[in-house]
């Protein structure tokens, strides 16, 4: 199982992501720098971590989306390699146009840092196959720009195609239709504001995020 | 050539920052402000040969996020 975590200048959840991947796969992920031109060959999973890449200059994720490594990440995503973007990673994926919509400033203008409850909307995807239908899980959020926006047509298309992976069960940040995470049409790219890598073991206060990695990495224990 | 790119949120897109500024203006006693929208201006100093197409591409690819923002290109001098 060969995984990679991309670090941008200003990423701050890259280490948490590396630990989560090592914990789940038993192998250290490759550490990739934003300025690298190429990803390691034969990757099974790429993670874009949370943080404040490039100091959120211009717009959250906008500069990172245009960094050298992203050309390789986009090419890998198009080949079907699973790509997970969490928090700032989700912002980068929308700015790179691998996912639709945009993440705007939270409706209440506050930075929100707490555990939220999510409904798993799609349990058929690569990332969510380990969850039960309509299961409610608890995962931390920590963001200022998590307010998901897309026009009504795009939202209808996302819902109709089963591309809403996670939905907040409560009002969190003003996101349209309470969307917390979405998939690309092929289902191999997931962007989400909550941090599954911060909910890997009971010492974290919960381990609901673990099954996402286990599902995507094909190491899910038989139920 | 100096070029100013004016970037603003599309109509209908909620602007929490604008709302906060609006609230602050009211707090300072300025009445009669109906709405506030906060945008961004990017000033470019570009070669005189830079054409409109290239400027448009800069906006589309990086300076504006056309999912939520409109942009207007103003050539200053």
Going from the N-terminus, what domains does chain A have, and what CATH number goes with each?
Answer: 3-220 (3.40.50.880)
Predicted local distance difference test score (pLDDT) of residue A218: 85
From chain B, pick out residues whose CB is under 8 angstroms from the CB of A95.
Answer: 65
Could you tell me how many CB contacts below 8 A there are between chain A and chain B?
Answer: 38
| Cα A154 to chain centroid, rounded | 19
Predicted local distance difference test score (pLDDT) of residue A223: 45
The nearest alpha carbon in chain B to A62 belongs to B62
Predicted local distance difference test score (pLDDT) of residue A19: 97
CB crowding B24-60: b at 16 or more within 10 Å, else e: eeeeeeeeeeeebeebeebebeeeeeeeeeebeebbe
Is the model's pTM score more than 0.90? yes
Burial class (CB in 10 A: 0-12, 13-18, 19+), A152: exposed
Q: Which of B20, B61, B68 sits opposite A149 (nearest CB)?
A: B68
Predicted local distance difference test score (pLDDT) of residue B17: 87
Q: Alpha-carbon Rg of chain A, whole angstroms?
A: 16
From chain B, pick out residues whose CB is under 8 angstroms from the CB of A149.
Answer: 13-14, 67-68
pLDDT digits (tens, 9 = 90+) for B21-70: 999 999 999 999 999 999 999 999 999 999 999 999 999 999 999 999 99
pLDDT digits (tens, 9 = 90+) for A196-220: 999 999 999 999 999 999 999 986 5
Q: Which CATH number fits domain B2-76: 3.10.450.350, 3.40.50.10490, 3.40.50.300, 3.30.1280.10?
A: 3.30.1280.10
pLDDT digits (tens, 9 = 90+) for A30-65: 999 999 999 999 999 999 999 999 999 999 999 999
Contact B61 A58 (CB under 8 A): no
Question: Would you call A197 a catalytic residue per the annotation?
Answer: yes
Q: What is the DSSP letter of A162?
A: T
Tell me, what's the ipTM? Answer: 0.86
Contact B1, B48 (CB under 8 A): yes
Question: Would you call A87 a catalytic residue per the annotation?
Answer: yes
Low-confidence stretches of chain A (pLDDT < 70) are 219-223
Predicted local distance difference test score (pLDDT) of residue A96: 97
Contact A106 B16 (CB under 8 A): yes
Q: Which of A87, A95, A121, A143 is catalytic?
A: A87
Other residues' Cβ atoms within 10 Å of the Cβ of residue A218: 13
Predicted local distance difference test score (pLDDT) of residue B12: 86
Q: Across-strand partners of A166?
A: A120, A181
Predicted local distance difference test score (pLDDT) of residue B41: 97
Q: Is B77 on the interface with A (CB under 8 A)?
A: no
Contact A107 B14 (CB under 8 A): yes
Predicted local distance difference test score (pLDDT) of residue A1: 86
Residues 6+ apart with CB under 8 A from A204: A198
Q: Is B36 on the interface with A (CB under 8 A)?
A: no
Q: Which of B20, B61, B67 sits opposite A109 (nearest CB)?
A: B20
| Cα A10 to chain centroid, rounded | 17
The nearest alpha carbon in chain A to B68 belongs to A102
């Amino acid at each position: 199982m060969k995984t990679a975590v991309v670090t941008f200048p200003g990423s701050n959840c890259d280490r948490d992501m590396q630990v989560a991947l090592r914990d789940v796969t038993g192998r250290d992920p490759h550490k990739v720098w934003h300025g690298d031109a190429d990803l390691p060959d034969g990757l099974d999973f790429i993670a874009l971590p949370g943080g404040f890449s490039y100091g959120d200059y211009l717009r959250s994720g906008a500069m990172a989306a245009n960094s050298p490594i992203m050309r390789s990440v986009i090419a890998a995503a198009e080949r079907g390699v699973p790509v997970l973007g969490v928090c700032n990673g989700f912002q980068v994926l929308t700015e790179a146009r691998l996912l639709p919509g945009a993440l705007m400033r939270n409706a209440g203008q506050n930075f929100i840092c707490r555990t939220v409850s999510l409904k798993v909307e799609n349990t058929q995807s690569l990332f969510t196959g380990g969850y039960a239908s309509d299961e409610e899980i608890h995962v931390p959020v920590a963001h200022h720009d998590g307010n998901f926006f897309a026009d009504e047509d795009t939202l209808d298309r996302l819902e109709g195609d089963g591309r809403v992976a996670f939905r907040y069960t409560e009002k969190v940040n003003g996101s349209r239709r309470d969307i917390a995470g979405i998939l690309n049409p092929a289902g191999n790219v997931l962007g989400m504001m909550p941090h599954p890598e911060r909910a890997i073991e009971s010492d974290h206060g919960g381990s609901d995020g673990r099954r996402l990695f286990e599902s995507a990495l094909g190491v899910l224990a038989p139920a | 050539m100096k070029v100013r790119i004016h970037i603003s949120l599309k109509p209908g897109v909620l602007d929490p920052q604008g709302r906060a500024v609006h609230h602050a203006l009211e707090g300072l006693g300025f009445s009669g402000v109906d709405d506030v929208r906060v945008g961004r201006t990017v000033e470019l100093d570009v070669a005189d040969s830079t054409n409109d197409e290239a400027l448009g591409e800069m906006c589309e690819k990086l300076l504006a996020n056309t999912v939520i923002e409109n942009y207007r290109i103003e050539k200053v001098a």
